[in-house]
Structure 1
Amino acid sequence: MESSDKTFNLNEKLNKYFAGRVVRKDLTKKIKEGANVPVYVLEYLLGMYCATDDEDSINEGVERVKKILSDNFVRPDEAEKVKSKIRELGQYTVIDKVTVKLNEKKDIYEAEFSNLGLKGVEIAPHYVKEYEKLLSGGIWCILKMSYYYDEEVKEISPFNISKLTPIQMPNMDIEEIFNGRRYFTKDEWIDVLLRSIGMEPTQLKENVKWHLLCRMIPLVENNYNLCELGPRGTGKSHIYKEISPNSILISGGQTTVANLFYNMARRKIGLVGLWDVVAFDEVAGITFKDKDGIQIMKDYMASGSFARGKEEKNASASMVFVGNINQSVDVLLKTSHLFDPFPEAMAYDTAFFDRMHYYIPGWEIPKFRPEYFTDEYGFITDYLAEFFREMRKRSYTDAFDKYFKLGNNLNQRDVIAVRKTVSGLVKLIYPNGEFKKEDIEEILRYALVGRRRVKEQLKKIGGMEFYDVHFSYIDKESFNEEFVTVPEQGGGKLIPEGIGKPGHVYTVGHSHSGMIGVYKIETEVVNGSGKFERTGLGSNRDAKESINIAFNYFKANKKNISGTISVQNNDFLMHIQDLQGIGITSELSLAAFIALCSGALRKPVQSQMVILGSMSIGGTINKVEELASTLQVCFDAGAKKILLPMASASDISTVPPELFAKFQIAFYQSPEDAVFKALGVE
């Protein structure tokens, strides 16, 4: 009962403080199912006739809207019938999407009707000047059409546009939002925003609500670059296509520099200059006909400007990239990276992905079922869109500076990304700028996680250049530093704190695919007759060979370690675990030798230690390949101590000093030396 009471109160509050600006969303759903118009077109009409909570007026208004839609909305299959009506009646009102082109041969503007199928209809230049978007992508309008056929003039369409009204709210008083917001709690206001886009917040988990809010940031924040990849059916592109008349969705992905940025022949700015958001549906299909397309896009995403010809152009459109991940995230993380669905031209371009300000984890959003859609009151989407548009003129990028500063792992791009996300969420949740310290901390944490997700993938693609992924923020009062983790990377460390069991050791090495992974060797020593069993190696012959080298060296040199070790009276059972599932490594010999000694002596290896390096059959030590990347993997796995062959000392200059300083490092000269240092025996 409590939840329906809250709903009732929220509906009452909305109708009280935003009278005439809200609509019951079940009305939209009912009519939407019968008419293929965007939500904002439908709610523009509902807003005119049903923006009330009086049941009789609502029913009357709905009937009126239905009648307008059935009489005036042009269904593509009834286009001929409507054309005939315009001719027979001489004048008729239609609702359709209109796009305009300049016909330079005749020096007139010509309109094309999306559903009516008319082309070449002359349109007065003042409409084009007033509503520039008619020229790019087109807008939904209510039009009074007339018909006049002149036998003398064969080439001009007999259809005329007597009056054109775009379906958009004419004006917006932002103070109304600022004042109204004060009567709602944070949670109530978030629920209002989600209901306004048609979702039912009482059915959604807290993190899902935040992700849905994040989808709105590009609509309120200039030059915001957002990426969302996830399963199908989670409504990734819905908001950009249906909810706002200020965003355009490019389906299919193929585009040109002229269309997107600047047409040099016509000297006209492209989509980024005319829309608030340019969203690419299905990132896998993004292609440019021009070779320099991706380069110009990178330039634009970094600075909001781009050079064409001799001119430098500025625009404020945000870029959104949505697409599908077809396999599970676990598999993707083990075999590749989370930007994998992007086309090949981009998939390994770190500079392109570094410009992403946030990555929404689409796999955390449920597939939408009927109960996720609301029947309660929310803002008319057109009112919502105008509120979003108005907020683009403001900035809250410094919102957290009073209370927090960012940790030293964030570079300039990371800082910009986090500030933009914070600014966007403040505009949505606290548009009047009234918030407390804990409010802004919640937003800051969310902003850091999404940017860290981008950085983690950059590290996978670009290696050491992006090693600093340990994002944090510092409380200016207490100087307390809080770190954020990314859920799918696994918050818990692979190498736990505390002393492990004897015979259990960790090592890091290259798998046969070339990726660097973390491996755990578990050795049990039980009474027996000298048998040696190993599991977990699959059919990898090189790995088996390296374990055999370890056991043979152990048998031959055990007395150098301790006279108490007996091989004949014990059995040795060894299991190798590939902790990240990337395939087994063959660099196991030295770590396995230490594991055998540790198990036989019943002495554990030092806590959070990783053993690096391998050895030959005669005990010659091999140095570590790709030392810097290997140490980065050690750090990410939770290692605090590193056992390193002396032969690798010459490679230390390749390791960033900040990374090297994170460990206690012990060098060893020989396998025996390594055992003593691993067990902490001096």
Structure 2
Amino acid sequence: MTLNSERAPNNFEGMIFLDNFDLHETNDLKDSQFNDDLNNKLNEYFEGRIVRKDLTKKIKEGANVPVYVLEYLLGKYCATTYESLIEKGVQTVKDILSENFVRPDEAQKIISKLRELGSYSVIDKVSVKLNYRADRYEAEFSNLGLKDVPISEEYPSKYERLLGGNIWCMIQFEYFYDEADPRRNPFIIRKLAPIQMPNLDLDEILHVRDNFTKEEWIDILLRSCGMEPTQFDDRVKWLLLARLVPLVENNFNLCELGPRGTGKSHVYREISPNSILVSGGQTTVANLFYNMSTKMVGLVGMWDCVAFDEVAGIHFKDKDGVPIMKDYMASGSFSRGKNEKNASASMVFVGNINQSVDTLLKTSSLFDPFPSDIAKDTAFFDRMHCYIPGWEIPKYRPEYFTDDYGFITDYLSEFMREMRKRSFADAFDEYFRLGNNLNQRDVVAVRKMVSGLIKLIYPNGKYEKEDIEEILIFAMEGRRRVKEQLKKIGGMEFYDVNFSYIDNETLAENFISVPEQGGGKLIPEGMNKPGHLYTVGKVDNGMIGVFKIETKMMNGTGKFNCTGIGSKKEVKESIDTAFSYLKSNSANISGMISTKNNDYLMQVQDLNGIGMTKHLALASFVALCSAALNKPVLPSTAILGSLSIGGTLMKIEDLSNTLQVCLDSGAKKVLIPISSSADLATVPPELIGNFSLIFYQSPEDAVFKALGVE
């Protein structure tokens, strides 16, 4: 078959340029939806760069192509506010997708058309590799199923991301079967263009930003991503914005875990052609970083953002995969062979939490969904700059998707890509400085987050002190969430979680908390009932938990019953030790205590759900005395330590971490055996300063001091 010289009906130029389509037609009424003030302002300042998002939604439901592909076409054929022209444009886009978009199950049909017509235009995902044996570049088409198609070196040179794989493109094919050389590939790429904006005037955006308020600009960004901002409160809006930070900030490491159906991966799959989503989490060092055979940099060098979907499945086929990733996340560089390579791609980790947040906080950490070989790796998680609480974002419903106007997705993505060249990392230095609990990695994380949010909300650099403070608080919360989980995994190495910032003018220090830690502490303020108290101790699995003991005395014959302790022998023995010691030594406390004419009921609660500790004897003894004397324990007090049947006091295991748990749980006073005083040298002074430490020398002394008896 010879080359057909006639132009095919679906010519390449017709797919890109508007033919016989007058956008300046004025004899039609404007779209009735175009009556909102924000929509009017968008049309005034960004005419030709916006699209009605309900059009995207309608076509998207019937076409399995990314949003930026659809909006590239809609931006060319529907860039108008006139309803009749929009209808024509939508039909044109539908026709293009119908005729040119390649569905995998129709690949052979398209190939057949190409053979018959001699020339045919398609929309498909393309990747290019160098065939060094033949010294030529070859393309592979995902849906069309074609491989090893020769392609001019012009294209991989001009569009390097083709070498990273899977770029949506418009391709004009020609077909020529050479009977003299049957082995010659008959498919010829006449023309290829990635689906992206040809240019962007960033100065225009920076200048026009002055005409929008902060609230309007945030709404525009969210509508540009397909969301309807009127359906979300301010908190959710900021969380949705945080998902965009990796697209505007170089080498930004983000984690978001939450329930299914909240759109965690949507931004990285659909919104930007400059990001890639690694589905399933499985990859190789060669694919992600550097291929030693081809000497080609992997995904981190080709994309602005590499996102891992379903973090539970993250797996490297190479043993050195995780160490190389940690190196890259920390420095933006990695070593392969004799050379060190640099890249600027941000890393995003998204996945599902299958338990409630409260359960995870009590039993493990918010990083628990990561695979087991990473879940305990504090060095890996310490490189996370922000953790978005995905559980605060509602599951998407139809009304959460906008029908109003927003930027063409590709216009938005090019804006974000251009902003990566700028930095606002020092923006808050004029007004605030960070507290001394933030180490260098914390400072870097906060600065990156602040810079990214300013690029999104105030790209022109015009903001006030209160604007920066709002961003700073949000950025510090995102990093503190990482640090709180590191403390759970790594212990006292990460004790410094009390993040704060200081106003340069007033010198007032403001502390930042994370909502899930809660204002309601496990050890509440105020006086407890007699017989009620709190103790902190280590369980067999090494975790440290908070336990509440409730004791009640009533008339009886000297019986003692305890519930809530489970079936472990050591736990039951510690409770029995407390009652036995009371029977033998009650006279040393008070003659009013009777173990023969009263019954004692005790219940122990595991407030963290981690299992029961065997270090309950001392606290149980104090609780029994408190109930017997009808006198409450001092408020906000944690009682530490244990005793033997003979009254010997036991040293506290892991005092530093135990005190940290006391602080996190709300304790303001801590009873400690004098035998543990030497271990205070291992506790950071900043931690000790948060308590009134009360030392006791014997079980009886512990009772007197716990009850406030001089």
TM-score range, shorter-chain basis? over 0.9
Q: Contact conserved, 1:485 with 1:491, CA < 8 A, in 2? A: no
1:675 Cα offset (Å): 1.4
- 1:428-451 superposed Cα distances (whole Å, 9 cap, x missing partner): 111111122222222112111221
For 1:222, which of 250, 273, 291 is the aligned residue? 250
1:180 Cα offset (Å): 2.3
Deviates more, 1:381-390 or 1:118-127: 118-127
Q: Contact conserved, 1:543 with 1:588, CA < 8 A, in 2? A: yes
- Structure 2 partner of 1:263: 291
Q: Contact conserved, 2:142 with 2:166, CA < 8 A, in 1? A: no
Deviates more, 1:136-145 or 1:241-250: 136-145
- Structure 2 partner of 1:43: 71
Structure 2: gaps spanning 5 or more residues:
1-31
For 1:314, which of 342, 362, 365 is the aligned residue? 342
- 1:209-264 superposed Cα distances (whole Å, 9 cap, x missing partner): 22211111100000000111122222111111111010111112222212111122
Deviates more, 1:461-470 or 1:519-528: 519-528
- Structure 2 partner of 1:496: 524
- Structure 1 partner of 2:603: 575
Q: Contact conserved, 1:121 with 1:156, CA < 8 A, in 2? A: no
Q: Contact conserved, 2:34 with 2:81, CA < 8 A, in 1? A: no
Question: 1:24 is aligned with what amino acid?
Answer: R
For 2:232, which of 173, 191, 204 is the aligned residue? 204
- 1:42-74 superposed Cα distances (whole Å, 9 cap, x missing partner): 100100011222212211111111122212222
SS of structure 2 residue aligned to 1:446: helix
- Structure 1 partner of 2:189: 161
Distance 1:331 1:504 in 2: 24
Structure 2 length-normalised TM = 0.92
Are 1:111 and 2:139 counterparts? yes
SS of structure 2 residue aligned to 1:635: helix
Deviates more, 1:146-155 or 1:566-575: 566-575
Please show how residues 231-630 of structure 1 align to structure 2 within 5 Å.
Answer: 231-527=259-555, 530-630=558-658
1:21 Cα offset (Å): 0.7
1:5 Cα offset (Å): 10
Deviates more, 1:110-119 or 1:386-395: 110-119
SS of structure 1 residue aligned to 2:244: helix
Question: 1:290 is aligned with what amino acid?
Answer: D
Q: Contact conserved, 1:137 with 1:248, CA < 8 A, in 2? A: no
SS of structure 2 residue aligned to 1:93: strand
Deviates more, 1:433-442 or 1:619-628: 433-442
Deviates more, 1:210-219 or 1:198-207: 198-207
- Structure 2 partner of 1:641: 669
Question: 1:397 is aligned with what amino acid?
Answer: A
- 1:304-359 superposed Cα distances (whole Å, 9 cap, x missing partner): 01111221111100001111222222222222211112122211111011001111
SS of structure 2 residue aligned to 1:182: helix
Question: 2:626 is aligned with what amino acid?
Answer: S
Q: Contact conserved, 1:141 with 1:167, CA < 8 A, in 2? A: yes
Distance 1:240 1:486 in 2: 26
- Structure 2 partner of 1:90: 118
1:528 Cα offset (Å): 5.0
Distance 1:364 1:460 in 2: 21
SS of structure 2 residue aligned to 1:450: helix
Question: 1:572 is aligned with what amino acid?
Answer: Y
1:395 Cα offset (Å): 0.6
Deviates more, 1:66-75 or 1:347-356: 66-75
Deviates more, 1:120-129 or 1:602-611: 602-611
Please show how residues 23-62 of structure 1 align to structure 2 within 5 Å.
Answer: 23-62=51-90
Question: RMSD over aligned Cα, in angstroms?
Answer: 1.9
1:598 Cα offset (Å): 2.2
For 1:184, which of 199, 207, 212 is the aligned residue? 212
Structure 1 length-normalised TM = 0.96
1:511 Cα offset (Å): 2.5
Q: Contact conserved, 2:363 with 2:608, CA < 8 A, in 1? A: no
1:567 Cα offset (Å): 4.1
Q: Contact conserved, 1:532 with 1:571, CA < 8 A, in 2? A: yes
Distance 1:492 1:402 in 2: 35
Question: 2:188 is aligned with what amino acid?
Answer: N
Distance 1:6 1:398 in 2: 40
SS of structure 2 residue aligned to 1:68: helix
- 1:599-628 superposed Cα distances (whole Å, 9 cap, x missing partner): 333332222221111111121111111111
Distance 1:111 1:618 in 2: 81
> Kindly tell me: are residues 238 and 98 of structure 1, through their superposed partners in 2, closer, same or farther at Cα, counting changes over 3 Å?
same
Distance 2:403 2:280 in 1: 33
Q: Contact conserved, 1:221 with 1:392, CA < 8 A, in 2? A: yes
Structure 1: gaps spanning 5 or more residues:
none
